[in-house]
């Protein structure tokens, strides 16, 4: 049977807490204007599907002070961390244990349904997107960040990071039945659904827009969380993998260097 959360071990690891923190600090400033596009009612109801440690859910509670935000995830440790970190929002922000394959909400519950950094890590992403659309009201919005591991570019040095990103995500995706390139494939999924106004935007995490230390912290967390799995699921050894990651981190930290991670942000309006 297909494992519905093949990255469960990584998602629960301490490196993931660091990763989500750094990713949110890198991405959120460019995400705010994209979220402001949606015509949300006052007292909007927002779902953060696969909320992790609550980085996105808490920022949305801050951004939309009248909204109520529900974050759901299946890793209790991260839900507990989110609950303890964001008590200041009181009953406006809740975190519950729910699978995004089978949400508890009735049809048409939410004005805005958000799913950040999740869809590349699960099989059957199309089913989950269907479930997210089900709980979103007609005229409400989906706001999705479907990662794509072909959208990272680093300078060549002793090693060619292009070869790493060509080889590794394809192998990990095949081993876990996930689509590590869903950023480019999600348009076709949405186009076949009852949604309209599909948009594709890109948040540019690069060494110009984002502090080098923040960008480096993302890749360090990926190294610490995934180097071992890469050595088990691809022809690369653990040392090979560390070598690539460390070169990419040095590239980011080099004041004369340039590197970029393009992060797709996809939105659609659920048809009325
Ligand atoms: C990389 S984290 C992203 C966390 C958060 N959305 C953010 O932007 O910081 C992916 C999260 O998806 C969660 N996830 C994976 N499969 C899930 C499922 N079936 N139901 C709910 N959450 C799931 C994981 O547990 C993990 O916390």
Alpha-carbon separation of residue 67 from 93, 121, 184 (angstroms) = 9, 28, 31
State residue 8's pLDDT score: 73
Residue partners of 196: CB distance under 8 A and separation at least 6 = 268, 269, 271
Whole-prediction pTM value? 0.96
In three-state form (DSSP H/G/I as H, E/B as E, the rest C), the secondary structure along 31-57 is HHHHHCCCCCCCCCEEEEECCCCCHHH
**Model pLDDT for residues 32-74, shown as the tens digit of each residue:** 999 999 989 999 999 999 999 999 999 999 999 999 999 999 9
Residue 2 belongs to a domain? no
Hey, how many other C-beta atoms are within 10 angstroms of the C-beta on 31? 23
For residue 121, the CA-to-ligand 1 centroid distance in Å is: 8
* Mutation pick for ligand 1 pocket among 8, 105, 118 (CB with most ligand atoms within 8 Å): 118
Identify the three-state secondary structure at position 203. strand
Domain total in the chain:
1
For residue 234, the CA-to-ligand 1 centroid distance in Å is: 24
- Whole-angstrom distance, CA of residue 111 vs CA of residue 152: 32
**Model pLDDT for residues 72-104, shown as the tens digit of each residue:** 999 999 999 999 999 999 999 999 999 999 999
Which is the closest atom of ligand 1 to the Cα of 55? Answer: 9
For residue 10, the CA-to-ligand 1 centroid distance in Å is: 11
Residue 1 belongs to a domain? no
**Model pLDDT for residues 154-194, shown as the tens digit of each residue:** 999 999 999 999 999 999 999 999 999 999 999 999 999 99
Residue 48 belongs to a domain? yes
Residue 37 belongs to a domain? yes
Q: Hey, whose CA ends up nearest to atom 14 of ligand 1?
A: 50
**Residue 236 is part of which domain span?**
8-270
State residue 3's pLDDT score: 72
What phi, psi does 60 have (nearest 5°)?
A: -70, -35
For residue 159, the CA-to-ligand 1 centroid distance in Å is: 32
State residue 181's pLDDT score: 98
Report the run of H or E that residue 79 belongs to, with start and end.
Answer: helix 76-85
212 CB near ligand 1 (under 6 Å) = no
- List the one residue out of 158, 166, 167 whose CA is nearest residue 251: 158
What does the mean pLDDT of the chain come to? Answer: 96
The CATH number covering residue 57 comes to 3.40.50.150
């Amino acid at each position: 049977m297909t494992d519905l959360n093949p990255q469960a071990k990584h998602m629960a690891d301490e490196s993931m807490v660091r990763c989500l923190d750094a990713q949110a600090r890198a991405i959120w400033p460019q995400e705010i204007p994209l979220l402001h596009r949606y015509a949300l009612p006052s007292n909007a109801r927002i779902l953060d599907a696969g909320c992790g440690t609550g980085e996105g859910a808490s920022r949305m509670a801050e951004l939309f002070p009248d909204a109520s935000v529900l974050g759901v995830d299946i890793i209790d440790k991260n839900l507990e961390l989110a609950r303890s970190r964001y008590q200041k929002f009181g009953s406006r922000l809740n975190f519950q244990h729910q699978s995004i394959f089978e949400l508890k909400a009735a049809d048409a519950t939410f004005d805005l349904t958000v799913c950040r950094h999740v869809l590349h890590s699960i099989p059957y992403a199309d089913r989950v997107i269907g479930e997210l659309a089900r709980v979103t009201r007609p005229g409400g919005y989906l706001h999705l960040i479907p990662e794509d591991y072909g959208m990272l570019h680093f300078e060549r040095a002793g090693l060619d990071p292009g070869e790493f990103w060509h080889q590794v995500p394809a192998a990990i995706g095949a081993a876990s039945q996930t689509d590590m390139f869903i950023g480019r494939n999600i348009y076709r999924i949405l186009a076949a659904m009852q949604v309209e106004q599909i948009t594709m935007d890109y948040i540019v995490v690069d060494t110009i827009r984002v502090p080098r230390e923040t960008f480096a912290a993302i890749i360090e967390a990926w190294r610490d969380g995934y180097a071992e799995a890469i050595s088990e699921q691809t022809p690369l050894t653990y040392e090979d993998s560390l070598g690539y990651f460390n070169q990419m981190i040095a590239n980011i930290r080099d004041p004369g260097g340039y590197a970029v991670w393009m992060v797709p942000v996809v939105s659609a309006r659920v048809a009325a």
